[in-house]
């Protein structure tokens, strides 16, 4: 087993990996950019090293510098978390070249399975259904030809990564080349790889994925499915396990398909096989050759520590359980908490945290990367915490999640908690009638915008009333002061002065 692991990431996922390392008696090394000098993950680790300036390309995507730090610190292995270099086969290969263990699939398997284009090819070759699309990175002429062949609407995807980054639906020919250029630029910035491919856009599918684990001794298992259909701009926001569309028979069938894909790719370590379900057929979508953001819901219903299994597999150990040993218990759900303003079209909301009160109680887990005083920077993804709850039934989980989100207090920034509460209150969501178009189909964002406008109007009205009082004659002011009998004149005047700023400091209603 390793003595020291470098965690090549930041925020909540870095802390989550470090916690398991601590339980295993393994020392940890953090890396940090300029803006993350005082971040929680930097302080939580046993050692911390500056990796570069704040932009990702100069810090968390700087593979050569990360390897240099690993050598300097004496770390025998690197855990990439998710995002950044987690699915970069070149980085995984460089680790091996430098006699550092990469905690994930080897570079060859990652290139075959983690690269979205390569995985489409070998899965299609084995006769497993895939959505119609391109089997190579497209150039401008190819894109127009393929789109014409499969028909609009189509979807553009990055070959190198996930998280909704670089993805976009194109409805007709006139927008294709412009959107393709944008997707290439976004993919290059996020993953260091500009390759984009095309798929037919399925109109109302469910997004369902299977968690797999594979060791270096030929043992591969799946740990059930996760439903990830609640998405905005292809970014997952609410995930749950299991899915309402699965019974044991279907779980075994599609789970075996996921295991087969992993074996065909000669895959080791943790990964996710993703499918799109149109109500009739499960189409292979992609392999995520890394730990997923939503892995906690699987941990909650299986009582497995996926990071611990990742580390043990990377160290050459054999899985200590087989498929028949995996038991599924109850239901789990995760809400991603982002620094965004849901009342203002999810505008990013960077800033300093002035109040942070996470929820608690039975069946509630918080994976977070912040404390009071933490900065939410503009350089990285706005995800800063995940609320995960467990219960014996889905109904229990929905109510428990509503309670947990209602307890959570974060000030200094805006968060998407009101969005989550709006979804959880929807009758269709409560019965599991969901798909990837749910948010648009239900008008969730429009409802939030209207609520935001209503709140602003109401606050403006209150400010106008107070302003009117302040401009009244002495008699009018005296009458107002008599009305406010519970406070003295000085306190009343202070209240009026503060009221003038009320609309600035209260952009959302209290929950």
Return the active site residues.
Answer: 290
Strand 77-79 vs strand 101-102: parallel, antiparallel, or unpaired?
A: parallel
CA 407 to chain centre: 21
Nearest to 182 by CA among 199, 172, 171, 196: 196
User: What are φ and ψ of residue 178, in 5° steps?
Assistant: -65, -45
Indicate the SS3 state at residue 277: strand
DSSP annotation of 130: B
Residues 6 or more apart in contact with residue 23 via CB below 8 angstroms: 308
Q: What is the DSSP string of 310-347?
A: HHHHHTTPPPS--GGG----SEEEEEEEESEEGGGTTE
Measure CA of the first residue to CA of the last residue in the chain; give whole Å: 47
Go through the chain and tell me how many residues it has.
Answer: 511
**Nearest alpha-carbon partner for 281 in 310, 311, 245:** 245
Nearest-angstrom CA–CA distance, 388 and 292 = 14
| C-alpha dist (Å) from residue 163 to 64, 127, 381, 510 | 24, 27, 10, 31
**DSSP code of 58?**
G
Check residue 182 and report its DSSP letter: H
Rounded Cα–Cα distance for residues 466 and 460 (Å): 10
Token duo for residue 218: 């030929």
Q: How many CB atoms lie within 10 A of CB 365?
A: 19
Bridge partners, 282 (sequence order): 277
Beta strands in 153-254 (DSSP E): 154-158, 168-170, 196-200, 206-214, 220-232, 235-241
Cα distance between residue 198 and residue 117, in whole Å: 10
167 and 155 Cβ atoms separated by less than 8 Å: yes
């Amino acid at each position: 087993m390793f003595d020291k692991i470098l965690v090549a990431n930041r925020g909540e996922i870095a802390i989550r990996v470090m916690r398991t390392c601590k339980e295993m008696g393994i020392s940890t090394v953090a890396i940090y950019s300029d803006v993350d000098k005082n971040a929680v993950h930097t302080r939580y680790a046993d050692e911390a090293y500056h990796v570069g300036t704040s932009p990702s390309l100069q810090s968390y995507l700087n593979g050569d510098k990360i390897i240099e730090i690993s050598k300097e610190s004496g770390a025998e292995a690197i855990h990439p978390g998710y995002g950044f270099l987690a699915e970069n086969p070149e980085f995984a290969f460089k680790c091996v070249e430098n006699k550092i263990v990469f905690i994930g699939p080897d570079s060859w398997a990652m290139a075959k399975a983690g690269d979205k284009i390569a995985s489409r090819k070998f899965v299609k070759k084995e006769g497993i259904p895939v959505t119609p699309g391109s089997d190579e990175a497209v150039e401008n002429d190819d894109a127009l030809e393929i789109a014409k062949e499969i028909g609009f609407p189509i979807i553009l995807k990055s070959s190198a990564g996930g998280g909704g980054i670089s993805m976009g639906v194109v409805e007709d020919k006139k927008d294709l080349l412009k959107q393709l250029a944008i997707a290439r630029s976004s993919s290059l910035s996020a993953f260091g790889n500009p390759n984009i491919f095309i798929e037919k856009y399925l109109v109302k599918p469910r997004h369902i994925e299977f968690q797999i684990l594979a060791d270096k001794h030929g043992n591969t298992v799946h740990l059930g499915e996760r439903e990830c259909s609640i998405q905005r701009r292809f970014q997952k926001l609410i995930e749950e396990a299991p899915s309402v569309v699965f019974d044991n028979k279907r779980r075994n069938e599609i789970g075996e398909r996921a295991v087969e894909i992993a074996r065909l790719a000669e895959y080791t370590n943790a990964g996710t096989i993703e499918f799109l379900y149109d109500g009739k057929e499960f189409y292979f979508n992609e392999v995520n050759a890394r730990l997923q953001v939503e892995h906690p819901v699987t941990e909650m219903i299986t009582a497995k520590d996926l990071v611990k299994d990742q580390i043990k597999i990377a160290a050459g150990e054999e899985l200590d359980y087989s498929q028949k040993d995996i038991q599924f218990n109850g239901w789990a759900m995760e809400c991603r908490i982002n620094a965004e303003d849901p009342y203002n079209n999810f505008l990013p909301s960077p800033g300093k945290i002035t109040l942070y009160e996470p929820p608690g109680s039975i069946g509630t887990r918080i994976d977070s990367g912040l404390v009071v005083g933490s900065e939410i920077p503009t350089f990285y993804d706005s995800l800063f915490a995940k609320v995960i709850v467990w219960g014996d039934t889905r109904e229990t989980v929905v109510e428990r999640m509503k309670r947990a989100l209602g307890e959570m207090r974060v000030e200094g920034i805006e968060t998407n908690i009101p969005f989550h509460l709006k979804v959880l209150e929807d009758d269709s969501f409560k019965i599991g009638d969901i798909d990837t178009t749910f948010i648009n189909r239900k008008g969730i964002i429009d409802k939030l915008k209207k609520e935001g406008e209503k709140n602003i109007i109401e606050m403006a009205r209150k400010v106008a009333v107070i302003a009117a009082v302040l401009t009244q004659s002495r008699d009018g002011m005296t009458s107002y002061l008599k009305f406010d009998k519970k406070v003295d004149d000085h306190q009343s005047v202070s209240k009026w002065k503060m009221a003038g700023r009320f609309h600035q400091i209260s952009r959302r209603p209290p929950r």
